[in-house]
């Protein structure tokens, strides 16, 4: 899975990719939500970073095999983490999820993010298994060392460093939760909501820089 953007993108620097077998990555108990999603971090100067976590069911033959005998590998689950940096949040998009606008004021600002949904939306399909594949994904997770339940959510997190944040959807959507804590806004969206037809969800984040003591 790669971060893609039109020619106006300002995503720069090298990308760090780390493929992990999901069952070996989680070390304790059940997670409250899927790890699939993306995180944006905005610094005071307007620059920042993006991290994308994608769940997939790769072909077993494409996974590096260990020196084993007597085993016929038949199923694999993988979490791919991809990171990068940007010069301006206004120029950032992931597939068809885009930042509508970023307004800076003194000492704060507003961020609006358009979150497409429906069968034609691309961004969530790039980071989570399809409806027909999720049963196989859960089967792979059932074989993990520690139990992992597939909650079938995608999370978007936005951090504004050294700031207080508040956020809401312009129009509330049932089962979609928005929370803000310690400078981080988190939106947890069930895949069933994303797969159903509907207009894009608009997330509005207001932030205010914390005064230095």
pLDDT in tens, 124-168: 999 998 888 888 888 887 877 777 777 899 999 999 999 999 999
How do the domains of the chain map onto residue ranges? 11-61+74-209
Neighbours of 137 (CB within 10 A): 22
Predicted pLDDT of residue 65:
67
Q: Which residue has the higher pLDDT, 69 or 209?
A: 209
CA dihedral angle for residue 82, residue 88, residue 90, residue 95, rounded to 10 degrees: -20
CA distance 52 to 39: 7
Specify the pairing of strand 201-209 against strand 184-190. unpaired
Beta strands in the chain, from DSSP E residues, in sequence order = 11-21, 37-42, 48-56, 78-86, 93-94, 97-104, 108-115, 153-160, 163-169, 177-181, 184-190, 201-209
């Amino acid at each position: 899975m790669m971060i893609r953007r039109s020619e106006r993108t300002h995503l720069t620097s090298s990308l760090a990719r780390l493929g992990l077998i999901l069952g070996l990555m989680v070390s304790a108990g059940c997670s409250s939500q899927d790890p699939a999603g993306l995180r944006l971090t905005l610094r005071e100067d307007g620059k920042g970073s993006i991290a994308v976590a994608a769940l997939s069911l790769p072909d077993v033959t494409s996974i590096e095999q260990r020196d084993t005998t007597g085993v016929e590998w038949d199923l694999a689950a993988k979490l791919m983490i991809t990171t990068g940096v940007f010069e301006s949040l206004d120029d950032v998009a992931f597939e068809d999820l885009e930042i509508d606008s970023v307004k800076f004021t003194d000492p704060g600002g507003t961020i609006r993010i358009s979150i497409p949904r429906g069968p034609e939306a691309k961004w969530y399909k790039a980071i989570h298994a399809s409806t027909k594949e999720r049963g196989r994904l859960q089967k792979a997770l059932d074989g993990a060392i520690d139990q992992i339940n597939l909650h079938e959510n995608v999370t978007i997190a936005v951090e504004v460093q050294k700031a207080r944040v508040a956020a809401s959807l312009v129009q509330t959507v049932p089962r979609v939760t928005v929370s803000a804590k310690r400078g981080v806004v988190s939106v947890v969206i069930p895949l069933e909501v994303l797969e159903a037809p509907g207009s894009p969800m608009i997330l509005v984040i207001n932030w205010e820089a914390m005064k230095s003591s």
